[in-house]
Amino acid sequence: MEHMTIKQLESELARAITALQALNTKENQDLVSAYIDEIKTEINRKTELAPHGGNAHAA
């Protein structure tokens, strides 16, 4: 995810949330929830690094 922009991460987050809603087993939901947390963490990290909260690109 390091190479993704904030906008791309937000799109990936939306897809992961949609996938989570479609899953019916606890194990799969836990895996997708962990992935969602990872995406959110990366969005937060990139937002903090961005000069004005814009779309920061990984170096």
The candidate with the shortest Cα–Cα distance to 13, out of 30, 37, 46, 29, is 37
pTM of the predicted protein model: 0.60
| Residue 59 placed within a domain | no
- Average pLDDT value over all residues in the chain: 84
Which helix (H) or strand (E) is 36 found in, with range? helix 26-49
Does residue 17 form part of some domain? yes
In the predicted model, what is the mean pLDDT of residues 17-42?
Answer: 88
For the cut 80, the answer to whether the pLDDT of residue 54 exceeds it is no
Structural domain contains residue 1 = no
In a domain, 57, yes or no: no
C-alpha distances out from residue 34 to 5, 6, 13, 53, Å: 20, 18, 11, 24
Q: Return d(Cα 10, Cα 8) in angstroms, integer.
A: 5
Asked, for residue 58, whether it belongs to a domain, the answer is no
The residue segments making up the domain with residue 38 are 6-49
Which band of pLDDT confidence, cut at 50, 70 and 90, is reported for residue 55?
low
Looking at residues 6-33, what average pLDDT do you find? Answer: 89
pLDDT of residue 59: 43
pLDDT of 15: 92
- Report the amino acid identity of residue 58: A
